[in-house]
Each structure stands twice: as structure tokens, then as C-alpha cells.
A = this chain, B = another copy of it.
Amino acid sequence: MSKKYQVVGIGNAVVDVLSHVEDEFLVKNGIEKGIMTLIDLERAAAIYEKIGPSIEISGGSAANTIAGLAQLGARTAYVSKVKDDQLGAIFTHDMRAQGATYEVPLADAGHEAETGRCMVMVSPDAERSMNTYLGVSEFLTPDDIDEAMMAEADWIYLEGYRFDGPESHAAFAKAIAACKGAGGRVSLTLSDPFCVERHRDAFRDMIRDHVDLLFCNEHEMRAMYEDEDLSVALRLAADEVDTVACTVGADGAYIWRDGIEVHAPADPARIVDVTGAGDLFAAGFFYGELNGYDTLTTGRMGCVAAGEIISHIGARPEADLKALFAKYELI
């Protein structure tokens, strides 16, 4: 009998605040290009005052993946904390409207932190630099993990960014135990090379002991295994995990499974904003995985979903992903 959920994601719930900036703006304001930097509310307010007119779209790495999977018809749930405020209502609406279960109790209106937000600053070359105020999503604790939900999941999908939260390691451990105890499997995304630097040992322990499917990009993979040679790093990862799916930008993705490497090429795309590329790669890849497609097709599904997301502003899919899979003759 199939379980209630195919994938349950756990990550940082944030609303993205998207704006266009020149590279000069990043330099002048000490914002590191291409990566995610955590900031406090004061710094968030200071930067927000300087950026141009913005657009608000629900985001969050694992949340984007779950939204993509829900749009593809998978049975999904999402776990993270937002507050009982207007941005929390927006995030909650968008997650449920996409078809995902999202039932984590709201942080009380009296909580000193607000719903998290991520200032996504898109450069003319489509690269994004993210400054994230985690807000209440930082306070995800083991209490927020519903063990019954984890036991009802074929897969749980853990967002590496959440390693920055003080109590989230314990929350992850609780989720993993409940999921694996009921025969489920565990996937992890490394999220960001600097996040890997901050938590390499914790990541490594989790990968070795619990992870069945590892998502990353080339920079995160190199940081994780401390080897500039991607193929070396990939082999090290492949020794520890059943399946490793590593994106390599315009070159698509390399997937290691059962000792075999498969290269899934990406399609040429007009790149508007790379935000969410890895998140939607994971969504497409999971779709193939859940539905028993071969490794190459599964990887290609990831690439096609990623290609959709980089063709427009925002990290939630606008086009019908299944129609795109059909267009590329993957289904």
C-alpha cells in the first residue's frame, strides 16, 4: 500500500523579495554575489531601504521543491514555521494552493521574530545573491516534527540551510528516525557551499549514516569533500550514498547510482533569474524517482524543471512542468 505522502520537505519558510541590482550595488553594500548570507532584521531593513521596487513571491529552497512536486501531482507535505502575520498568510496560501499539505502551527503574533524573508538580488547576468532574514523559521524545533507524518512519508527531503538553526539538528534527527523506522528514505540538499563550510562535519555524519539521495551543485560538492576535482569529490560521495545528483549549471547534472555515472544534459535556455534552479532540479528528479523512470530520464526531468524556473523571475514554477516533460519526450 502506498504511503500518504510521497515526499515531505523540511526547510526554511521564507517569502522572496525580488529586485534587480547592478553588480556595483553588491560591492558597495558588502553583499557576496551568488551565495546565501544570513542577516538579522536590522540589516534586512537597512538593505531593503536601498534596493529598488520589488516583487514578493513565496520561496524557500525545500518549499520550492515541494511546490514543484505538488504541481506535478505528487502527494507532498511541507514542514517549517511562519508567523501569524501577513507574510505568513501569503506563504501558507501559496503552499496549500499548489496542493501541498502544510499544517505546522503558526508562531504566535506576539513572537519577537517575523515570518522569514529572503532578499533575492538579481544581477544583469541572471545570477542571484541572497540575503536571508530567517525570522521564525529559525525556531523549528523537534516539537514541530509530527512523527506520524514522517512515518507516512516514502521520502523526507531535508534542506541543508536548516543546519543553521540551533534546534533543527535535533528536529532533523527526530524526522529521520520516524521516517526510517517506518521504512521511508531520506534525501538531503546541501543548499550552499558556505553553509557546507559552516556545518561540514554534521552534514558528513548525516550523509554517511542516513542519506539515501543527495542533491547538490558542483560548488557544494567540492566544499563538502574538500577536493577541487569534481569527479574525485563525486566518487567520494557515491561511496557513501545510494544516489548522488549533482547539478553543473549549463552542463546539466551528473548522477551517480550503483557505481555508475550518468550525465543528464541541460537544454539551452534564456536565463532570466537562476533562483530556484537547484530546487526545481530536485522536484523534477524526484518525479522521475517516484515514478520509476530510468536514471537518465530522471536526471533530464530535473534539468527540464530547472530550465523552466530560470526562464523567469521567481523560484516557483509558472509553466505546466508535466507538459514540458511531454514536450521533451520524457513522459
Contacts and interface: CB of A to CB of B under 8 A. Distances in A.
A52 interface: yes
Contact of A87 (B54, B67, B86): B86
Interface string A29-49: 000000000000000000011
Interface in A45-103: 48-49, 51-58, 67, 85-87, 90, 93-94, 97-98
Contacts of A53: 58, 67, 93-94, 97-98, 316
A90 B56 contact: yes
Nearest to A71: B53
Interface in A97-130: 97-98, 114-115
Contact of A97 (B51, B56, B114): B51
A288 interface: no
Q: For A94, A314, A316, which residue has the most chain B Cβ atoms within 10 angstroms?
A: A94
Contacts of A51: 97
Contacts of A316: 53
Nearest to A19: B97
Contacts of A94: 53-54
Task: Kindly name the residue among A52, A53, A98 whose own CB sees the greatest number of chain B CB atoms within 10 A.
Answer: A53
Nearest to A17: B90
Contact of A93 (B49, B93, B114, B115): B49
A52 to B, nearest CB: 5
Nearest to A90: B56
A263 B10 CA distance: 58
Nearest to A89: B48
Nearest to A50: B97
Contacts of A114: 86
A98 B87 CA distance: 22
Contacts of A93: 48-49, 53-54
Nearest to A115: B86
A77 B87 CA distance: 27
Interface string A279-320: 000000000000000000000000000000000001010000
A111 B55 CA distance: 26
A49 B96 CA distance: 9
A54 B56 CA distance: 9
Contacts of A97: 51-54
- Residue of A49, A54, A67 most packed against chain B (CB within 10 A): A54
Given A53-B93, A54-B90, A86-B86, 12 more contacts: A49-B93, A52-B97, A53-B58, A53-B316, A54-B93, A55-B55, A55-B57, A56-B56, A56-B90, A86-B87, A86-B114, A86-B115
Interface of A: 48-49, 51-58, 67, 85-87, 90, 93-94, 97-98, 114-115, 314, 316
**7 tightest A-B CB contacts, nearest first:** A56-B56, A86-B86, A53-B94, A53-B97, A52-B97, A55-B57, A53-B98
5 contacts: A51-B97, A52-B97, A55-B314, A86-B86, A86-B114
